[in-house]
Amino acid sequence: MTYNIMSLSVKNNHLIRQIKMNRESRLVVKDNALIDASFNLSLIEQRLMLLAMVEARELPILTPETPIEIKATTYRDQYNTDKSEAYKQLSEASKQLFNRQFSYIDKYKNTDAITVSRWVNEVTYVNDKGMVVMYLNRNVISMISRLEEQFTKYHLIQVSDLKSQYSIRLYELMIKYLSIGNSKKYPINDLRMLLGIGVNEYKTMSDFKKRVLDLAVTEINDKTDIKVRYDQFKEGRIISHVLFKLDKKKEKKQKDSKDQNTVDMFTGMSIKQCLMFGDKLSREQAFQNHYKANVGESTEDYAERIATMLSDAFYVKEWMPYLESVGYKNI
């Protein structure tokens, strides 16, 4: 079967976009009301929700009944964890996420109000597949889809290596101010609430600075695309407010860009190859016995699903014997 990338159908063009979407290019987009919402998610839960938001925005139809699948392999690749750790983290996060809430400033009949909402309506951990299936709350869907108003966007790669839940939250709070170079002046109590710190946590200012603020600023400066520092303001002898200043780091010159026909440096398999070998594997009986089509799934959809998975180095390696049997040469 001969493939011509230029003449692929609209459906295949969507598949190409899926294949190209790798660790570096995933874009998080949130309404500023969600950025400024008050919530307390663990590091793993934040990571899981960010992946869900990225995956959700790629879907042609997104409703509270739409399942959002997050695979352990996707989590592992995005956040640089090993396979067993990824399974464990997804399993643990799925147990708690349903009970998590966030609150945000809203309007009710043109009057300011505070809305409390869940992140998800339902969450399921599929043990045999190492996968979390999430159904997002309608408020979350609105806040990641409604782009005609104020919103913030950043590449997920920027927070993928952060190890503190406070670092991710502070990065999100700061990134919307990047164009003007400084944040608003945050009252300490408001900042604590936005970072998800409980009333009984880090009560003293010295503890708050050491274990939250300074840790987050240092990690952001070391691992992301921005530099952050902050000024303190006092009322009497007590620190009452913090104002952040931030700059974009200078971008390093990139080496020669890779061949656009190549998915990434880890697989070495081009988009054309993904499509071609996806089709070949879908017709191979031995492979069909190993990786079955879903009930009611058409041959075309089965082949496209295989092609998408071949953009992941994990599956290229796992399926290498079957790939070699249909003519793939691992050079």
Per CATH, 27-160 and 162-252 having the same topology is answered: yes
Contacts of 99 (CB under 8 A, 6+ apart): none
User: What is the structure's pLDDT at 15?
Assistant: 57
User: What is the structure's pLDDT at 152?
Assistant: 85
Number of other CB atoms surrounding residue 10 within 10 Å: 7
CA dist., res. 230 & res. 250, Å (int) = 20
Strand, coil or helix: what is 8? coil
User: What is the structure's pLDDT at 13?
Assistant: 56
Walk along the chain (331 residues) and give the pLDDT tens digit of each residue: 444 434 344 455 555 555 545 566 678 888 888 998 988 899 999 999 999 998 888 788 899 999 999 999 899 989 988 878 899 999 989 889 999 999 988 888 888 899 999 999 999 999 888 899 999 999 999 888 765 456 788 889 999 999 999 999 999 999 989 889 999 999 999 999 999 998 889 999 999 999 999 999 999 999 999 999 999 999 999 999 999 999 998 875 544 444 444 444 445 577 888 888 989 999 988 888 777 777 677 888 888 888 887 877 767 877 888 898 999 887 6
Distance of alpha carbon 279 from the chain centroid? 29
Q: Could you tell me the CA-to-CA distances from 148 to 145, 204, 275 in Å, in that order?
A: 9, 41, 36
The full set of domain ranges for the chain reads 27-160, 162-252, 254-325
Q: Is the Cβ–Cβ distance between 156 and 29 less than 8 Å?
A: no
In the chain, DSSP assigns E strands to: 27-31, 38-39, 68-71, 101-108, 111-118, 120-126, 131-136, 151-155, 182-187, 226-235, 238-248
Fold of 162-252: Arc Repressor Mutant, subunit A (1.10.10)
User: What is the structure's pLDDT at 33?
Assistant: 87
Strand, coil or helix: what is 256? coil
**SS3 letters across 75-132:** HHHHHCCCHHHHHHHHHHHHHHHCCCEEEEEEEECCEEEEEEEECEEEEEEEHHHCEE
The domain over range 27-160 is classified in CATH as 1.10.10.10: yes
